[in-house]
Structure 1
Amino acid sequence: MRDGSPSRAWRLPSGCMIQDKSNGCSKVTWVEHVEVDDRTQTHRLYRDLICGRSAYGAERWIASLRRICERLAFYKEETAAAREFGGVITSPEGRKSIVNLAHRMVKIFFASLGMSGKLDFPQLSEVHNSGVRVAIRKNTEQGQPIGMVVSAATSLWLPLSPQNVFNFFKDEKSRIQWDILSNSNPVHVISHISNGTNPGNCISITHQPFIPTENNMLILQESCTDSSGSMVVYAPLDIPAMNMVIGGADSSIIPILPSGFVISGDGRPDTGGDSSTSTSSTGADSGGSLLTVAFQILVAGPNVTSSTELNMESVATVNTLISTTVLKIKAALNCSNLG
C-alpha cells in the first residue's frame, strides 16, 4: 500500500476494544496508529490539521461513534416532543422517513466531495484559500436527479472559532447573508426534528414564503456538530415530494441533490487572544476554522449529449456561484480582509 499509493498518510494496525458495562452501556477504547509523511506535500491550509493528531487521532473516531449512537437512539425514539413536529410531521412514520431522507442526503453530499476526474481552478488560490475544484458527471442512479451534474468545492481559513462559524450557518436567519439563490428573502422553519442532545444536531424543513416563483419548493437541512467538527447540509425538494416523505412513504426513491458546509478546527494552538478564536466544542485548542463550501447543480436533463461547450458554460456558472458565496460569507463574518 505504501509504495503504490499517492497518499502521504498510511494507517498501521489500529482498532477498538468494546467492553460491556452490564448497565446497557459499553466502554470503547480506540487506538489509532497512523503515519503521516512529508509536510511539504500537504496544502498549507491543512498542514497543522493533518500533521497533528486532529485529523487521524482516536478522539475523532470516538466523537463520530458517540454522535452516530446518539443519532440512532433519537431515531428509534417512539415518542418525540410535540414541538418537533411543528404541525407538519404528524406521525412517527413520517418522522422516520424524514430522518432517513436526511441521512441519505448527507451520504450523497460527502460522496460528492471525492470528485473523481476533478478540474482545478486557481482563481481563489490565495493564502487563505485552497482554490475551486469542479467535477462534471452524468448521473444515472436512482435517488438523485438524472442528468448532468456539476459539483464544485473550495476550502478557506477563517479567524473564528468553529462553533461561531457553525452557529452562523445553522441559523436560518443568517441564510440571506450567504445564499445567493434566496434573493435576499428570509426563510422560515416549518418543522424541526432533534437527532442529538446538542441543539445544533437537528433536521429542519424550511420555506421561503416571499418568493412566488419558488413557492412549490422547500429546503431539507441537517446540521450536526461534535468535538471533531460540524456540518450543515441542505437540498431543495418540491412540495409533492416532501408530502410523500412526511406521509411515511419510502424516501429512497426521492431524487435529492445536496450542497453544504463542513467546518473543523485548523489544528493550530489557540493564541489566547480574541474570544472569537477561543477553544470551542468543535475543534479544541483551535486558533481558527477551516470551512469547506460545496455545491451541486443539475445543469442538464437525462437526454443531453455531453459537449465541451455545455461543460465549460456550466463550470463557469458554478465557479461564479461558489466564488460569490465565499465573498458573501467573508463579508457576513467580517473577514473580507482575508483576500
Structure 2
Amino acid sequence: MQNGSSMVTWVENVDIQEKDKELHPKLRPFVESGFAFGARRWISTLQQEAERFIYSTGINISPTDSAISPEGRRSLAMTAKKMVISFCSDTCNSTYHHWTSSNKSRQKNIEVKTNKRRGDPGKPPGLHRTAGCTVELISSQNRVFDYLSDIQNRPQWERMSSNSLVQELARFSTGPDPRNCISVLAFSRHNEILILQECCTDATGSYVIFAPIEKAVFQSMLCGVDQDIQLMPFGFFILPNVSGSILDGTLLTMVFQLTVKNVSSKQAVQVVTQIVKDALQKIMEAVN
C-alpha cells in the first residue's frame, strides 16, 4: 500500500470431524466457531508476529519499557519465544504424549488430566509430570487476562510467590497494546531464581506463560548473550467461551509441570495435580 503497510486477505476452510474424540467437549464450540483455526485467528497471529518483531528488536519502543539494549531485547525475546513454543507443545495431545484423568472425583468442576514425558528437547533431564485443566468462567477474557498478568495478584494463586514480594526487573512491550509484553520477575524469597514471562492478548485469545530462569542467565541475556537454556514452562491459555455466535464468558486452561525428583511418579502426579487444583480454585474465586 502507499503508506508502506500491507493488506492481507485470508480465506480458510476448516473441516471439523464430528466424531473426533481428541477434541475436548468444552473446546468444541470454540473450534467450530472458527476462533481456533479460522482466518480471523491466523490474521491475528500474523499481526502479532509482525508487531513482536518490530518491538522486540527496538524499532518501536513503548514509554513503559525498561532501559534494555537492542541486543538484550533480542536475546530475551528469542528465549521467550522458545518458552511459548515449548509450552504449546507440552499442552498438545498425541499418541506419544497422551493425557489421562488424574482424579476420579471432580472437585467443584475441576477435573485435572496429566501426562508424563521424558527426554523432550530443551527440557531438564529426567521424568516430567504435567497437569492441566480447563474450566469455564463467567468473567470476560479481558478480566481474566488482566488478573493473571498483574504481578501484584500473583501471590494470591501461585505457591512460589506466596508470602513474597514480587518485583519486575525488566519489561518491554511486544506490540502497541502495553499488556502484550515480555518481563522478568523476582521474588524476595528466591534470590537466584527469576521468572521469565510473556503475556499476549487479542480478541481471539490470550496467554500468560512463564518459566524459571537463573539470575546469572538473565544477566547474560541483558548483555545480548544467546543462552541455550533448558526451560520448564507453565501458564495459562485464556479463550473466549463461544456459544453459537455469542461470547459467553471465558475458557481458562492451566498447565503446570515439574521434574520428578526424590519422589515416586505417583507422588509427583498428586503434587502437580493439587497445585493446579489449588491455583484454579483461587483464580475462580477472585475473578468470578
Structure 2 counterpart of 1:112, from 79, 90, 97: 90
Instruction: Please give the alpha-carbon distance, in whole angstroms, between the structure 2 residues aligned to 1:38 and 1:240.
Output: 50
Is the 8 Å Cα contact of residues 233 and 257 (structure 2) preserved in structure 1? Answer: yes
1:266 aligns with 2:247: no
Q: Which residue of 1 aligns with 2:174?
A: 195
Structure 1 residue aligned with 2:248: 287
> Which of these residues, 125, 139, 144, is aligned with residue 119 of structure 2?
139
Contact 1:123–1:132 (CA under 8 A) maintained in structure 2: no
- Structure 1 residue 163: deviation in Å? 0.5
SS at 1:29 equivalent: coil
Q: Which of 63, 73, 83 is residue 44 of structure 2 equivalent to?
A: 63
SS at match of 2:163: coil
CA distance in 2, matches of 1:128, 1:34: 30
The answer to whether the aligner puts 1:28 opposite 2:8 as a matched pair is yes
Aligned to 2:265: 311
What CA distance in whole angstroms lies between the structure 2 residues aligned with 1:294 and 1:132? Answer: 10
8 Å CA contact 1:191–1:204 kept in 2: the answer is yes
Structure 1 counterpart of 2:71: 93
Aligned to 1:3: none
**Alpha-carbon spacing, 1:26–1:79, altered in 2? closer, same or farther (3 Å):** closer
2: CA distance between counterparts of 1:34 and 1:243? 45
| 1:55 Cα deviation from its structure 2 partner | 2.5
After TM superposition, the structure 1 = structure 2 runs for residues 1-339 of structure 1, keeping only pairs within 5 Å, are 21-38=1-18, 43-78=24-59, 80=61, 84-86=65-67, 89=68, 91-115=69-93, 116-123=97-104, 125=106, 128-129=109-110, 131-139=111-119, 141=121, 143-209=122-188, 211=189, 214-251=190-227, 253-268=228-243, 285-300=246-261, 310-333=264-287, 335=288
For residues 42-96 of structure 1, give each alpha carbon's deviation from its aligned partner in whole angstroms, at most 9, with x where no partner exists. 544223212323223211111111111111121233474575225xx3x221121
Structure 2 CA distance for partners of 1:82 and 1:25, relative to 1, 3 Å: closer
Retained in 2: the 8 A contact 1:161–1:289? yes
1-structure distance, mates of 2:79, 2:99: 27
- Under a length normalisation based on structure 2, what TM-score does the superposition of the two structures give? 0.90
Aligned-pair identity in percent equals 31
Could you list the runs of 5+ residues in structure 2 that have no partner in the other structure? none
Provide the C-alpha distance between the structure 1 equivalents of 2:132 and 2:92, rounded to a whole number of angstroms: 10
Q: Which structure's CA Rg is the greater one?
A: 1
Distance 1:102 1:56 in 2: 23
- 1:123 deviates by 4.3
Structure 1 pair 265–126 and aligned structure 2 pair: CA distance change class (3 A): farther
Tell me how large the CA RMSD over aligned residues is: 2.3
8 Å Cα contact 1:64/1:228 also seen in 2:
no
- Shift in Å, 1:196: 0.4
Aligned residues of 2:173 and 2:182 also touching (Cα < 8 A): yes
Q: Distance in 2 between matches of 1:58 and 1:128?
A: 32
Aligned AA (2:176): T
Normalising by the residue count of structure 1, what TM-score does the alignment of the two structures yield? 0.77
Between the two structures, name the one with larger relative contact order (CA 8 Å, sep ≥ 6).
2
May I ask how many residue pairs the two structures share in their alignment? Answer: 284
Unmatched segments (≥5 aa) in structure 1: 1-20, 271-284
